[in-house]
Amino acid sequence: MQKGYLLLETGHVFEGTLLGNSLESTGEVVFNTSMTGYQEIMSDPSYAGQIIVFCYPLVGNYGINEADFESNKLYIRGIVTGEICVNPQHFQMKETTVDTLNRNGINGLTGVDTRQIVKIIRKYGSVKGKITTNPSNVSFNADTTFFIDQVSTKSIQKYSNDGPHVVLIDYGSKKSILRALLNENCKVTVVPYNTTLVEIQKLNPDGIVLSNGPGDPMALSEYLKDIKLITEMYPTLGICLGHQLIALAHGGKTTKLPFGHRGGNHPVKEVETGKVFITSQNHGYVVDEKSIINNQNFHITYFNINDRTVEGIRHKQLPISSVQFHPEANPGPQDTEHIFKKFIKNIHQGELTYAAQ
Distance CA 238, CA 325 (A): 10
- Asked if 107 and 81 touch (Cβ cutoff 8 Å), the reply is no
What domains are there in the chain, each with its CATH number? 3-132 (3.50.30.20), 149-355 (3.40.50.880)
21 falls in which pLDDT band (50, 70, 90)? confident
- Asked if 26 and 141 touch (Cβ cutoff 8 Å), the reply is yes
Catalytically annotated residue among 240, 243, 266, 315: 240
pTM check: above 0.85 = yes
Is 266 a known active-site residue? no
- Asked if 286 and 307 touch (Cβ cutoff 8 Å), the reply is no
Whether the predicted pLDDT of 143 surpasses 90? no
Distance CA 74, CA 239 (A): 21
Which residues are known binding-site members?
46, 213, 215, 241, 244, 282, 284-285
Catalytically annotated residue among 40, 70, 311, 328: 328
Span 270-311, pLDDT tens digits = 999 999 999 999 999 999 999 999 999 999 999 999 999 999
Distance CA 78, CA 83 (A): 15
Mean pLDDT of 84-103: 95
Is 240 a known active-site residue? yes
Residue 341 to residues 262, 310, 345, Cα–Cα distance (Å): 25, 22, 6
Span 226-283, pLDDT tens digits = 999 999 999 999 999 999 999 999 999 999 999 999 999 999 999 999 999 999 999 9
Eight-state DSSP code of residue 335: T
Which residues are known binding-site members for L-glutamine?
46, 213, 215, 241, 244, 282, 284-285
